[in-house]
């Protein structure tokens, strides 16, 4: 692959590392801090948060088996996605390639950053055709986006296909594993040493039940993480979010129970949908949602809205005509959805 120096935007190659006031300040509690224009009252909320979230990263490191130097924390995974564009893609010059269908955020942030976004259709089994995807890349393709398990299909992308792209593509490959905790497939984050062009995205919104915290993770080489830290906003994760995230991560037993319950409910819902008269096909899923093909997705969507139930109509996405995406809720919520559909 190209060197990191070749991949980053030209003007960033000369950018000096950014060291915030808080990074320079001693960490001892008894230090009198008169360097950051903070209010001396209303402790502890008067102090700026740790800009590098070191305590939280140590907790994550132990849980994810990833060194702290290989972890970036952002305000949702969207921040990491946006940073990938800002670091590697020159507006109006470079482009990115993504699978289709997939998460809409990649395209939305490409548009915001004025980067050409090139979708490559998956096959009918919602899998990558590596040669087709690589053929879509050119000399100005800086990034390939792969979501696995994919949204909205819930299907993991075959690991051999990802490996082939990581090996043959000379740019950055981002594998979004926001739903990996619900999958039987092992995380690709453990292969960072093998692939220097790999960035893996993760989140605390799904398995950890912390969507309100807006906390996303990126795992990559130390060099790429340093670039992220140099470009990001100085205090991008609040102290309150960091503290709550640490408390949540410590209760691994409860998290495992949530995931196990969701996986069990997913199996029940897949079977229940398969026998619904209005459902023509339900697709296997390894995420906390599933895709179902209906006779009339638009009509089902409107009917459920009137019943106070919201699902996602995917009909506008490629390969998803008349499909809805259903998130696995609590057993009570799932039963209410099924009851409504049986009365349709």
Domains and CATH numbers, the chain: 9-250 (3.40.640.10), 253-343 (3.90.1150.10)
Q: Which residues of 95-106 are buried (b: 16+ CB within 10 A; e: fewer)?
A: bbbbbbbbbebb
CA-nearest of 92, 89, 235, 113 to 172 is 89
Helix (H) or strand (E) holding 261: helix 252-274
CA-nearest of 175, 197, 196 to 187 is 175
Residue 28: per-residue pLDDT:
66
Residues with pLDDT less than 50, the chain: 21, 24-26
Residue 336: per-residue pLDDT:
98
Per residue in 249-273, pLDDT (tens digit) is: 999 999 999 999 999 999 999 999 9
Residue where the block lists tokens 């990491």? 80
Give pTM, 2 decimals: 0.95
Residue 20: per-residue pLDDT:
55
Beta bridge mates, 147: 176
- Do the Cβ atoms of 215 and 76 come closer than 8 Å? yes
Tokens of 46: 């008067």
Residue 26: per-residue pLDDT:
45
Residue 19: per-residue pLDDT:
60
Residue 23: per-residue pLDDT:
54
- Do the Cβ atoms of 231 and 36 come closer than 8 Å? no
CA-nearest of 333, 344, 1, 314 to 171 is 1
């Amino acid at each position: 692959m190209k060197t990191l120096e070749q991949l980053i935007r030209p003007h960033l190659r000369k950018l000096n590392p950014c060291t915030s006031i808080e990074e320079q300040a001693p960490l001892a509690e008894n230090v009198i801090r008169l360097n950051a224009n903070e209010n001396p009252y209303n402790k502890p909320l008067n102090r700026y948060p740790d800009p590098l979230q070191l305590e939280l990263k140590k907790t994550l490191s132990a849980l994810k088996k990833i060194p702290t130097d290989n972890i970036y924390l952002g305000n949702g995974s969207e921040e990491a996605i946006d940073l990938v564009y800002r670091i590697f893609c020159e507006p109006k010059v470079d482009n990115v390639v993504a699978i289709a269908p997939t998460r809409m955020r990649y395209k939305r942030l490409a548009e915001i950053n004025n980067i050409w976004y090139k979708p490559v259709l998956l096959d009918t089994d919602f899998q990558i055709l590596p040669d087709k995807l690589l053929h879509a890349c050119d000399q100005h393709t800086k990034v390939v986006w792969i979501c696995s398990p994919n949204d909205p299909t819930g299907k993991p992308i075959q690991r051999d296909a990802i490996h082939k792209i990581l090996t043959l593509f000379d740019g950055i490959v981002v594998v979004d594993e926001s739903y990996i905790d619900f999958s039987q497939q092992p995380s690709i984050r453990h292969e960072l040493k093998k692939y220097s062009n790999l960035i893996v995205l993760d989140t605390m919104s799904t398995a950890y039940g912390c969507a309100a915290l807006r906390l996303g993770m990126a795992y990559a080489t130390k060099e790429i993480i340093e670039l992220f830290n140099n470009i990001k906003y100085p205090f991008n994760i609040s102290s309150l979010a960091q503290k709550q995230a640490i408390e949540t991560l410590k209760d691994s037993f409860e998290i495992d129970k949530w995931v196990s319950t969701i996986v069990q409910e997913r199996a029940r819902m897949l079977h229940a949908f398969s026998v619904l008269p209005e459902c023509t096909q339900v697709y296997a899923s390894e995420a906390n949602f599933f895709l179902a093909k209906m006779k009339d997705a638009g009509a089902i969507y409107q009917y459920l809205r009137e019943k106070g139930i919201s699902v996602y109509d995917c009909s506008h996405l490629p390969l998803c005509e008349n499909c809805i995406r259903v998130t696995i809720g609590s057993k009570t919520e799932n039963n209410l959805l099924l009851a409504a559909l049986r009365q349709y």
